[in-house]
Amino acid sequence: MEEYCIHLAILCCIYLILAHSFNISFGLAGLLNLAHIATYAIGAYTYSILTIDYGYHFVAAFLLSGVGAALFSVFVGAIAARLRGDYFALGSLGFYFVVSALLINWREVTRGVLGIAGVPRPELLEIDFYENRNFLVLAVILCLGCLACMYLLQVSPFGRLLRAQSENEFAAMSLGRDVARARNLSFLISSAFAGFSGAIFASYLNYVDPSSFSLTEMILVLSMVVVGRPGSFWGVTLSTIFLVLLPEPLRFLDFPPSAIGPLRQIVYSAILVGVVYWRKEALFPRRRVV
Amino acid sequence: MSSSTPPLLQVSSLHVHLGGRDIVQDVSFSLTVGERVGIIGPNGSGKTTLFNSLSGFLPVSAGSITFREREISTLPPHRRAQLGLGRVFQNFGIFREMSVFENMLLAVESNRKIPKRRRQSTVAEYLDLVDLLEKQKDKAGSLSGGQMRLLEIARTLAVGAELLLLDEPTAGVSPKLKDSVRNLLVHASDNKRTIVVIEHDMGFIGQLCDRILVLDVGRLVLDGPPDEIRSSQKVHEIYFGDAHA
Amino acid sequence: MLDFFAQLTVNALIAGSVYALAACGMTLSYGLLKILNFAHGHLLMIGAYAFFFAFAELGLGFLASSIWTLGFSLLVTVVLFRIFIQPFLRYSFLLVLVTTLGLGYVFEAVVQLLFGAEVHAYPITRLSTSLQLGPVYFTTVQLIIVCASLLVLPLLAFILHGTRVGRRVRAFSEHSEAAQSLGLSFVRYQYGVLIVSAFLATGAGVLVAFDTNMYPTMGTTYTIKAFASMIVGGMGNLWGTIFGAYFLGFLETFGIGLEIGGVGLPASYKDAFAYVVVLLILLLRPEGVFSPGRRRV
């Protein structure tokens, strides 16, 4: 039982970083980047490849996962520059599919659907991080660190600028601010943190494969921000923990193991649909009536 | 104007609530057949919203709309159109990818009073009315602003509208064609159609309308003949400040 | 060598036909309603599984299974539309996109619960018999797919461009308020297009299942293919979408089949083509190859 709680706590740490990272580009800047889960994947794969194939140390690999994910976001920024508003979401979705296809097919690098196994736990200060309790401490420290950074960002002038350009891009531009640069920067930061959470994820599970980065995961992350109210730091925190813990009771009911996956998928998808349904005024602007 | 004929349109205490705000507040007026009415007011005074609620594209929060003695405020837009309530849109309600001919054909086909065998000739008649007969094979999107506007008005007449709501009909129209638009509308009202125009072009309104309604912040503040409106102190305030910051 | 080329062409035609049948429904509903229904591919999947349930599991005859499948798909489509799409038409198309995205995954998971995640196939019937025309091989069902496509799709295009009903649908697509001001009921045409769309998707799903097999995640796969076809040819543009579908079919088939200088792409990259195409077109010419230029704000 205690092991199980530790497991859940570690998952919470990972998803808290991930959800808040999405909150920066969606909640603050108002950009629905459906490729966000791809940056998470990049972080996870970068960490895995660096530690296994090149023997990088944890700290270096961790930081480089963030860097790798952030570099990747440059593409997303390019898409955002070319496609305005709602069409950006479409473009980012297309981009996600391309990355997903690469993860599955570029076997030389990613090992395809088999995934990369044997990703090591961190080696720091002679502590055995294969002991989950110790890993949890590390995860919590990293999580608090990342969340603190993101919180500071939210309340900073930069955060205010992001909010302003999301409400009225032209008004923000007229104030003399470089909105495009702010937007790209928000993608960079958002992706970096997604990369960090990916690294922790890879390190914890000791394994990455494309199925962990499916669109259903994106739906989950989207739900975490939408349910908690986009832009709200504490809202997103609470809703993330809630959504991570929500399907767990399913384990204790008598379902066959093959049903857990689909049931989880139903729960998360249904929640997203429900919340979007009830919050549609706040999330999606009305179309212009003639 | 005979006072014993019932009004064509009667709007009573109309309220339209949208996006958390009251866009149209307690507006009441009535129109008789053949009138030519102008609606003016600063931007944001609720003119287009008023039209949208009359046409049925926006729901009515309170009040009633009676057309030909029939309560229509709960009817969908197409039913109101079938009863004779026509609309010309600010952003040109023209089907640009279709030919001019097809645009008019759509209207003529939708008019049940025109028998099938007379459709082709009726299309030609209406296109000729607005000098677009030679252009009938052209894509409607290739027309100039004024030509599109004339097409749209002619189409509304062809479908049998008795009350025409026109939202800024002279926007994007060259001065020469503005005269054509005005003449077309006068011709329509001479044929027992009722015209209501939202406009910013005061000259146009002055020459066309015999009555003007002034809207400000969603309320109807003045209702009278053009001379009265022109010389009104209140209208001055509304447009040039003082009354509210 | 020529034989190989001919076979590839036929394969491309077959793939293109499937994509066209899948995509036309999506493009019609986009044209009319300006929404992207990401559950459209899942209608294909539901059609395939519904037919499987009646035909393979209950052992009902062909006709009975078809009637059941069409009826069931129609029910799902209408309910989906009424609750999750129609009330949202006033909002940004992203709302319907995200909603149908979520719903698609619900459908997928439900089907997985009911039928299992593994691949299923229809029982072998006459439809699987192999035919040969010269050097080219194909099956009966593949022939049906191509014929259906070549018959139904031009018919649709004719209806759209040459009849009164089609004219009205096009009018709604361009300016729905102006069309309503001509006395036309938007709701009636919404349902009309919806039903046609559902029939196309369902038929495509059953045919695909007969041709190859079915699996719960095929919904997403076909949604992407349909979406890619639409993006290439122009969203809402029927002929453009048909072209886009065949273009995609040819690109996939020849891209995999040919080897240029001894270097070929592994077959698993086949689906990736659709994704790359979507992305490229969105970046280079979002309105599609055949649509009139769109003002990008």
Tokens of A68: 């790798």
List the single residue in C with minimal CA-CA distance to A267: C106
Predicted pLDDT of residue A126: 75
pLDDT at position C297 over 50: no
Overall size of chain B counted in residues? 245
Predicted pLDDT of residue B241: 66
Predicted model pTM: 0.85
List the single residue in A with minimal CA-CA distance to C270: A101
Q: Could you tell me how many CB contacts below 8 A there are between chain B and chain C?
A: 73
Q: Which domains does chain B have, with CATH numbers?
A: 9-90+162-244 (3.40.50.300)
Tokens of A238: 């609470």
Q: Where are chain A's structural domains?
A: 2-211
Task: Using alpha carbons, list the distances in angstroms from residue B138 to B142, B144, C56.
Answer: 7, 12, 55
Round to whole Å and give the CA distance between B41 and C107: 52
Q: Residue A76: name the closest of C277, C235, C279, C288 by CA.
A: C279
DSSP secondary structure of C170-225: HHHHH-HHHHHTTT--HHHHHHHHHHHHHHHHHHHHHHHHHHS-B-TTHHHHHHHH
- Helix ranges restricted to H, chain C: 2-33, 40-52, 62-80, 93-115, 140-162, 164-174, 176-180, 186-211, 218-233, 238-257, 270-284
More confident residue, C275 or A27: A27
Predicted pLDDT of residue C296: 37
- Beta carbons within 10 angstroms of residue C262's beta carbon: 5
**The 3-state secondary structure of B101-132, one letter per residue:** HHHHHHHHHHCCCCCHHHHHHHHHHHHHHCCC
Among C164, C178, C187, select the one facing B93 at the smallest CB separation. C178
List the single residue in C with minimal CA-CA distance to B96: C174
Tokens of C251: 């690109």
Q: For residue C123, what pLDDT band results from cuts at 50, 70 and 90?
A: confident
List the single residue in A with minimal CA-CA distance to B87: A290
Q: For residue C284, what pLDDT band results from cuts at 50, 70 and 90?
A: confident
Contact at CB, B89 and C178, closer than 8 angstroms: yes
Tokens of C116: 């299992």
Q: What letter does residue A184 receive in the DSSP assignment? A: H
pLDDT at position C292 over 70: no
B125-160: pLDDT as tens digits: 999 999 899 988 999 999 999 999 999 999 999 999
Region B189-212: mean pLDDT is: 91
All residues of chain C having their beta carbon less than 8 Å from the beta carbon of residue A263 are 109, 113
All residues of chain B having their beta carbon less than 8 Å from the beta carbon of residue A286 are 19
Round to whole Å and give the CA distance between A56 and B100: 70
C35-86: pLDDT as tens digits: 889 999 999 999 999 999 888 888 888 888 899 999 999 999 999 999 999 8
All residues of chain B having their beta carbon less than 8 Å from the beta carbon of residue A290 are 52, 57, 89-91, 93
C128-165: pLDDT as tens digits: 778 887 778 888 889 999 999 999 999 999 999 999 99
* Residue B161 and residue B1 in contact, taking contact as beta carbons nearer than 8 Å: no
- Cα angle A272, A274, A278 (rounded to 5 degrees) comes to 115
Round to whole Å and give the CA distance between B215 and B239: 11
- Beta carbons within 10 angstroms of residue C19's beta carbon: 27
A125-153: pLDDT as tens digits: 777 778 888 888 889 999 999 999 999 99
Q: Residue A201: name the closest of A191, A190, A212, A210 by CA.
A: A212
Round to whole Å and give the CA distance between A38 and A60: 21
B223-245: pLDDT as tens digits: 989 888 888 887 777 777 654 44
| Percentage of chain C lying above the pLDDT 90 cut | 47
**The 3-state secondary structure of A148-167, one letter per residue:** HHHHHHHHCHHHHHHHHHHH
Q: Which domains does chain C have, with CATH numbers?
A: 2-257+264-284 (1.10.3470)
Q: Residue C33: name the closest of C240, C179, C210 by CA.
A: C179
State the complex-level ipTM: 0.90
Average pLDDT of chain A, as a whole number: 85
| Whole-angstrom Cα Rg for chain B | 18
Contact at CB, C175 and B97, closer than 8 angstroms: no
Task: Using alpha carbons, list the distances in angstroms from residue C223 to C36, C40, C97.
Answer: 10, 6, 12
